[in-house]
Structure 1
Amino acid sequence: MSVLIAIPARYASSRFPGKPLATLTGATGETKSLIQRSWEAACLVNGADRVVVATDDDRIREAAVAFGAEVVMTSADCANGTERCAEAAQTLGGGFDIVVNLQGDAPLTPHWFVEDLVAGLRADPAAEVATPVLRCDGRALNGFLEDRRNGRVGGTTAVFGTQNHALYFSKEVIPYTPGTYADADTTPVFHHVGVYAYRPAALTAYPDFAPGPLEQLEGLEQLRFLEHGRSILCVEVEARNRQFWELNNPEDVSRIETMMTEMDMA
Structure 2
Amino acid sequence: MSVVIVIPARHASTRYPGKPLVDLRGASGQARSLIRRSWDAAMAVSGVERVVVATDDDRIREHAEGFGAEVVMTSALCRNGTERCAEAVANLGLTPEIVVNLQGDAPLTPAWFVEDLVAGLRAGPGFDVATPVLRCTGRMRADLVADRHAGRVGGTTAVFGHDGQALYFSKEVIPFAAGDFGNEDPSPVFHHVGVYAYRPGALADYATWGEGRLEGLEGLEQLRFLERGRRILCVEVESRGRLFWELNNPQDVPRLEEMMRAMNLD
TM-score, length-normalised on structure 2?
0.99
Counterpart Cα distance in 1 of 2:72 and 2:19: 19
Matches within 5 A, 1:131-146: 131-146=131-146
Amino acid at match of 2:15: R
Give the 3-state SS of the residue equivalent to 1:182 in structure 2: coil
- 1:201 aligns to what? 201
Instruction: Indicate yes or no: 2:26 matched with 1:26.
Output: yes
Give the 3-state SS of the residue equivalent to 1:208 in structure 2: coil
Amino acid at match of 1:237: V
- 2:127 aligns to what? 127
- 1:85 aligns to what? 85
Report the CA distance between 1:60 and its aligned residue: 0.1
Amino acid at match of 2:191: H
Percent identical across equivalent pairs? 68
Give the 3-state SS of the residue equivalent to 2:207 in structure 1: helix
Report the CA distance between 1:94 and its aligned residue: 2.0
Give the 3-state SS of the residue equivalent to 1:105 in structure 2: coil
Instruction: Indicate yes or no: 2:49 matched with 1:74.
Output: no
- 2:55 aligns to what? 55
Task: Report runs of 4+ in structure 1 exceeding 2 Å deviation.
Answer: none
Report the CA distance between 1:27 and its aligned residue: 0.1
Q: How many residues are treated as equivalent by the alignment?
A: 266
- 1:162 aligns to what? 162
- 1:100 aligns to what? 100
Counterpart Cα distance in 2 of 1:40 and 1:150: 32
> Residue by residue, what CA displacement relative to the aligned partner does 1:175-214 show, whole Å, maximum 9, x if unpaired?
0011101111110000000000000000000011121110
> Residue by residue, what CA displacement relative to the aligned partner does 1:128-168 show, whole Å, maximum 9, x if unpaired?
00000000001100000111111111100000011101000
Counterpart Cα distance in 2 of 1:16 and 1:211: 22
Counterpart Cα distance in 1 of 2:148 and 2:165: 26
Amino acid at match of 2:256: I
Counterpart Cα distance in 2 of 1:71 and 1:212: 29
Amino acid at match of 1:206: Y
Counterpart Cα distance in 2 of 1:147 and 1:251: 10
> Residue by residue, what CA displacement relative to the aligned partner does 1:24-46 show, whole Å, maximum 9, x if unpaired?
00001100000000000000000
Instruction: Indicate yes or no: 2:245 matched with 1:260.
Output: no
Counterpart Cα distance in 2 of 1:22 and 1:139: 26
Counterpart Cα distance in 1 of 2:32 and 2:240: 25
- 1:118 aligns to what? 118
Counterpart Cα distance in 2 of 1:76 and 1:24: 26
> Residue by residue, what CA displacement relative to the aligned partner does 1:49-81 show, whole Å, maximum 9, x if unpaired?
000100000000000000110001001110000
Counterpart Cα distance in 2 of 1:153 and 1:221: 15
Give the 3-state SS of the residue equivalent to 2:206 in structure 1: helix
Give the 3-state SS of the residue equivalent to 1:75 in structure 2: coil
Counterpart Cα distance in 1 of 2:90 and 2:213: 27
TM-score, length-normalised on structure 1?
0.99
Counterpart Cα distance in 2 of 1:221 and 1:212: 9
Counterpart Cα distance in 2 of 1:256 and 1:121: 29
Instruction: Indicate yes or no: 2:7 matched with 1:2.
Output: no
CA RMSD in angstroms, aligned pairs only: 0.5
Report the CA distance between 1:241 and its aligned residue: 0.3
Consecutive unaligned residues in structure 2, runs of 5 or more = none
Counterpart Cα distance in 2 of 1:101 and 1:134: 17
Instruction: Indicate yes or no: 2:22 matched with 1:41.
Output: no
Amino acid at match of 1:244: F
Give the 3-state SS of the residue equivalent to 2:191 in structure 1: strand
